[in-house]
Amino acid sequence: MDRLQAMQLFTRVVELGSFTRAAEQLDISRASASTLIKQLESHLGVRLLQRTTRQVSPTLDGNSYYRHCREILAQIEEAESALAQVAHRPRGRLRIDLPASLSRLVVIPTLPDFQARYPDILLEVGSGDRRVDLVGEGVDCVVRIGELKDSTLVARPLPPLEQVTCASADYVARHGRPVSLDQLAGHRCVAYLSPTTGRLDPLAFSVEGREQPRDLPADLAVNHGEAYVAACEAGFGLIQVPRYHVSRQLEAGTLVELLPDYRLPPLPMTILYPHHRHLTPRLRVFIDWLVALFAT
């Protein structure tokens, strides 16, 4: 039994939840993959995986072994990547996770530049609004928007995101353009349900350096950033988002910025990655590239 190959296969089975997909990624047959895992379990004397007709998941022992495997494999990759860096060729697989709108509107359109610089790095990009367990899911780094609550991850700040309050041009034509908070009376908003807390996030404005929430009535509630902007474009009322999310619509005039004198402070944005002794070269160059991207 090739123990290194067995560890690589085991981690991919855990991360993908599938023998078939893991075997395909490692270019071995499913039968060979099943045999290798059985040999690994026999060698360790424990059951690592629970198999059903629909999914494969780690046992408690499997979860513990997975974390050790990830650390060992990361150290091996780091050693190999360090040699590659000498030749100025960072390489290997890099798994990242980004907020959906940030991924679609900002990062992915500019990734050809990163790929041209580092052709030997294979990026796996996850996009969503859920919280990702970096260690448990084998993700190398994530970008998060807002105040941080993680204490076990390394954080590198990115330039903050300017926030805007806006409504559709059609909505403003029908209901008027408020220029003060008192003029918000009679206006409506699109309600946003936080995907993490399930609570409604009220609109808020900066008044003499203090945040002042304003509850406006709503005819529609959503829990996803894309739907939030789409509802605003459809004329359902005011929203508050990072400027990048609506910059195209603001430039085109389909959305109109409101109350710029009461704009909230910029949202903090951070790159997070698990604590390791050293960054792998591929993760380091990607983080440096992101920092440069958002600094422009």
Range(s) of the domain holding residue 251: 163-265
| Domain boundary residue, one of 45, 76, 107 | 76
Q: Is residue 131 domain-resident?
A: yes
Residues 280 and 153 in one domain: yes
CATH code of the domain containing 258? 3.40.190.10
| β partners of residue 242 | 163
- The pLDDT of residue 152 is 74
Are 96 and 148 found together in one domain?
yes
Tokens 């951070």 appear where? 270
Rounded distance, CA 216 to CA 203, Å? 8
* Whether residue 254 is found in the same domain as residue 190: yes
Query: What is the reported pLDDT for 276?
Result: 61
* Within-domain flag for 17: yes
Domain shared by 125 and 100, yes or no: yes
Q: What pTM was computed for the model?
A: 0.67
- Note whether residue 82 is domain-resident: no
Contact 121, 111 (CB under 8 A): no
Answer yes or no: is 57 within a domain.
Answer: yes
Residue 139, SS3? coil
Distance CA 275, CA 283 (A): 13
Q: Are residues 169 and 260 in the same domain?
A: yes
**Cα–Cα distance, 54 to 50 (Å, whole number):** 11
Return the H-helix or E-strand segment holding 255.
Answer: strand 255-258
Establish if 83 belongs to a structural domain: no
Q: Is residue 188 in some structural domain?
A: yes
The pLDDT value recorded for residue 174 is: 95
DSSP helix/strand/coil, 12? helix
Which residues in the chain show pLDDT less than 70?
A: 53, 80-88, 129, 135-136, 150-151, 196, 276-278
- Asked if residue 214 and residue 175 are part of one domain, the reply reads yes
* Domains identified in the chain, total number: 3
- Going by their DSSP bridges, the two strands 92-98 and 141-145 should be labelled as parallel
Is residue 230 a part of any domain in this protein?
Answer: yes
Bridge partners of residue 214, in order along the sequence: 203
Q: Is 288 helix (H, G, I), strand (E, B) or coil?
A: helix
pLDDT number for residue 19:
85
Q: What are the tens digits of pLDDT across the range 100-156?
A: 899 999 999 999 999 999 999 999 999 876 777 776 677 889 998 888 775 678 889
User: Are residues 63 and 148 both part of a single domain?
Assistant: no
HSE on the CB side for 10, CA within 13 Å?
32
Name beta bridge partners: 122.
93
Domain identity same for 294 and 179: no
Domain co-membership, 157 together with 191: no
Same domain, residue pair 53 and 104: no
